Amino acid sequence: MRNLKRTSQLFFALALLLSMVAGLGTVSAQDLKVLRVGMGAAGTTVVWDVALATDTTSHTFIEMMFPGLAPRDETTGLPQHGMAEEWEISEDGRVYTFKIKEGVPWVVYDPATDSVVEVTDEAGNVRYVTAHDFVYGALRTMDPETASNYGYLPADWVEGGNAFNEGTGAREDVKIRAVDDYTLEITSPEPAGFLLQVYGLWVFAAQPQWTIEEHGDNWTLPENYHVYGTFVLKSYEPGSRVEIIKNPFWPGTESHPIPKLDVIEAVFLDASAALAAYEAGELDTIEEVPLPDLPRLQVERPDELYIGSRDCTYYYGFNVQKPPVDNVHMRRALSAAIDRQTLVEQVLGRGELPAGFFSRPNFAASATQEEYPDLGAHSDPELARQELELYFEETGNTLETMPQLTLMYNTSEAHAIIAQAVQQMWKENLGIEVQVANQEWQTYLDLLTEDAPQIWRLGWCADYPDPHNFLGDVFYSTSGNNHTNWANDEFDSLIDEAKVMTDFEARKPLYARAEHILTWEDAAIAPIYFYTKLSMIGTHLDASPSIIGIERYDKWDILG
């Protein structure tokens, strides 16, 4: 008996070993192309809900899973044919008619078979993406009940949208409708040069009504998360890891070609940990390079280091309701005391440009400080001290009695270095001792929305290449992205006036004036620098690094 048992055990072990070897064999035979990406900071959470996402990490995934009507090309920023095969624009420039691509099924990851399956309705028929899904998506994003920070964006550009978004108008009066299953018609309140780009954004993408209504907040769990784009969510471990797999049913469009990769595995690591994993060969690409390692990488891995443009602006915002930054002179003093030139050249040294205006200088309608040198924020310690004196005169405070200041940023090594450099500049130039504190990303975003601290850090990346996306979409008085509690009628009317003008040159002076109000007259924010993009891309990759805020990994390939 005993002997027999041992033999059977041995046999079992052998069989197990064989099956494992066989298993390995099949995996390598399939030869899956897996791209391993190091993203964001450790602990980053992804907001999967298309209507609620506001950050670039979430949008990176959403852009792949919910292709818009006319998504931006990530290397040029120009709209391409996405879910809309063609479009017509009425003569007055207000009515856009999109022809939706037919035969794109909704899909979901099926854990039972470990594969992607098509979504079916109650009758067992495959659900295809229709114009109705696009109507539902846009309306859900602007619905006041969804409470999306981005709700104002579709609302602004669809007639009747603002009334609906503010809760005064009816859903039925919003002028976005499905003419038939594959024809979508959107009517804008005014014509604008960048309407197509706005309609191409994810806020106008299709959303799966049935699963959202059935599962509520849980619709973003992988088993309920119905998508139609190039990749499908397989697993998500909040704060650490995301795995998405290729959608075999995706037919391919100009903006979203059929992917060559099979799996994209994203891990959330702090920049230095990500670099260590990258250098050990555990990651194929990382989105951020730690500041101190830059000189070494420039000599050791020059072929893998990528430095390029990125349409984002780094800024410190003020909560204008909290003393002492409720006083404009205090805000101006703080803004002017930041030595932007030194910061970008000496401390960061990645080729960033100091920013005195908020919107990027490289858009057609952008006002730049080169053209308007007297406007906007300037780094000037003397001016900063004068403004501080004015603050003291106005409030009767002194350095001793003024309320204490806290500067907050989301946890990141680079933000910490910048915050400490600025802290020191404020101390040297103004004598103000500011405390710095940090929070993990999602907590930080919640804090900004609910009760923004006195001084906080954020970056803003262009959704479409127009200054309206910076000034109007972020700091218009009703914008959900405006965490300053600041509102200015003149600023709002300038934005209203400029956004409907089609002549880019004529818009510039209006935006220059608006910039000046935002960054100096009222100093609601202190713009700091214009980003550059810095990443490590393995030489075995066929990559197309992006200039827009998000990376399009679904277009990448692994060579060899």
Partner 1 sequence: MSSIDASTERVGEALPEPIRLAQETERSRGPWLDAWRRLIRNRAAIVGMVVIAAFILIAIFAPQLTNYTYAEQNYLAINTAPKWVIDLFPKMKEVGQEMGYVRVNNDYRFGTDALGRDLFTRIIYGARISLAVAFIGPLTSLLVGTIYGMVSGYVGGRTDNIMMRIVDIMYAFPTLLLIILMMAFFRASFSQSEYGTLAYQLNKIDAAFGGMLFIFIGIGITSWMDTARLARGQVLSLREKEFIEAAHSIGVSDRGIIFRHVLPNIMGPVIVRESLAIPRYISLEAFLSFIGLGVNPPTPSWGSMISEGAQAIKSYPNQAIFPALALFLIMFAFNFLGDGLRDALDPRATKV
Q: Contact residues for partner 1 (CB under 8 A)?
A: 270-272, 275-276, 279, 290-293, 295-296, 298-300, 322, 342, 346-347, 401-404, 406, 411, 413, 416-417, 419-421, 423-424, 427, 433, 435-438, 453-454
Per DSSP bridges, beta strands 115-118 and 107-110 are: antiparallel
Of residues 120 and 341, the one with the C-beta less far from partner 1: 341
Q: Of the candidates 329, 310, 375, 379, which has an alpha carbon nearest to the alpha carbon of residue 530?
A: 310
Of residues 270 and 473, the one with the C-beta less far from partner 1: 270
Q: Of the candidates 315, 312, 321, 319, which has an alpha carbon nearest to the alpha carbon of residue 448?
A: 319
Of residues 258 and 437, the one with the C-beta less far from partner 1: 437
Of residues 155 and 422, the one with the C-beta less far from partner 1: 422
Q: How far is the CB of 269 from partner 1 (least distance, A)?
A: 12
DSSP secondary structure string, 414-442?
HHHHHHHHHHHHHHHHH---EEEEEE-HH
Q: How far is the CB of 288 from partner 1 (least distance, A)?
A: 12
Give the pair of three-digit tokens for residue 86: 């063609």
Q: How far is the CB of 244 from partner 1 (least distance, A)?
A: 29
CB-based contacts of 29, cutoff 8 Å, min separation 6: none
Contact 97, 245 (CB under 8 A): no
Q: How far is the CB of 357 from partner 1 (least distance, A)?
A: 24
Give the span between the Cα atoms of 538 and 284, in whole angstroms. Answer: 5
Of residues 423 and 478, the one with the C-beta less far from partner 1: 423
Give the span between the Cα atoms of 86 and 489, in whole angstroms. Answer: 39
3-state secondary structure of 182: coil
Give the span between the Cα atoms of 112 and 128, in whole angstroms. Answer: 23
Q: How far is the CB of 536 from partner 1 (least distance, A)?
A: 13
Of residues 290 and 356, the one with the C-beta less far from partner 1: 290
Of residues 244 and 286, the one with the C-beta less far from partner 1: 286
Contact 287, 55 (CB under 8 A): no
Of residues 347 and 501, the one with the C-beta less far from partner 1: 347
Contact 507, 364 (CB under 8 A): no
Of residues 216 and 302, the one with the C-beta less far from partner 1: 302
Q: Of the candidates 549, 546, 541, which has an alpha carbon nearest to the alpha carbon of residue 33?
A: 541
Q: How far is the CB of 455 from partner 1 (least distance, A)?
A: 11
Give the span between the Cα atoms of 270 and 228, in whole angstroms. Answer: 31
Q: How far is the CB of 467 from partner 1 (least distance, A)?
A: 31
Q: How far is the CB of 351 from partner 1 (least distance, A)?
A: 16
Give the span between the Cα atoms of 312 and 489, in whole angstroms. Answer: 26
Chain position carrying tokens 């802290």: 423
Of residues 52 and 294, the one with the C-beta less far from partner 1: 294
Residue 85: which H helix or E strand, with range? strand 84-89
For 16-44, give one letter per residue: b (16+ CB within 10 A) or e.
Answer: eeeeeeeeeeeeeeeeebebbbbbbbbbb
Amino acid at 64: M
Q: How far is the CB of 527 from partner 1 (least distance, A)?
A: 20
Q: How far is the CB of 345 from partner 1 (least distance, A)?
A: 8
Give the pair of three-digit tokens for residue 451: 């009760």
